Amino acid sequence: MDHTGSAAWSGGIKDGIGSISVQTGVLKDAPYGFKARFEDGPGTNPEELIGAAHASCFTMALSGELGKAGLTADSLKTTATVTLDKVPGGFAITKIHLDLVGKVPGTDQAGFEKIANDAKVGCPVSKLFNGNADITLTAKLQS
């Protein structure tokens, strides 16, 4: 199964502007650029898109792991914080922190954390960054 995303760019690194789109059309010609990435300007940037991709992939994987355990979530919310650091040779994503809050009847905090960690390990986006970024997880079970 293949999915596509595309990007266009015009101008220099600091004064240029780009746009991104995805195959489904849910994101079409969304602006991105230097200011959105490094100066808190308007538009999006690769790191927040990676954060959204990782949070969504992990949360779906968690739903699957909960199902294997005979559990169904009332709600799951994940925020992924992606850290871009200057390293020798340029920049790199060095850390991704997943912050999960879930309401899952029939489990306790320890069980929830174990299932969440299993989902983190099995998530395809986590696997993409495995060994290249420190991926951490905080899981809080609401009652």
User: pLDDT of 119-143, one tens digit each?
Assistant: 999 999 999 998 889 999 999 999 8
pLDDT digits (tens, 9 = 90+) for 49-61: 999 999 999 999 9
User: From residue 7, how far is each of 68, 83, 121 by CA, in Å?
Assistant: 38, 22, 29
Domain ranges of the chain: 5-38, 48-142
Compute the distance between CA of residue 96 and CA of residue 99 in angstroms, rounded to an integer. Answer: 10
- H-helix or E-strand spanning residue 57: helix 46-68
pLDDT at 136: 96
Compute the distance between CA of residue 47 and CA of residue 91 in angstroms, rounded to an integer. Answer: 12
Fold of 48-142: GMP Synthetase; Chain A, domain 3 (3.30.300)
pLDDT digits (tens, 9 = 90+) for 16-67: 999 999 999 999 999 999 999 999 888 999 999 999 999 999 999 999 999 9
| Residue in the structure block whose two tokens are 């850290």 | 83
- The model's pTM: 0.92
Q: Is residue 8 helix, strand or coil?
A: strand
Paired tokens of 36: 């959105």
In 3D space, the residue among 64, 58, 46 whose CA is nearest the CA of residue 7 turns out to be 46
pLDDT digits (tens, 9 = 90+) for 74-96: 999 999 999 999 999 999 999 99
Paired tokens of 79: 């925020």
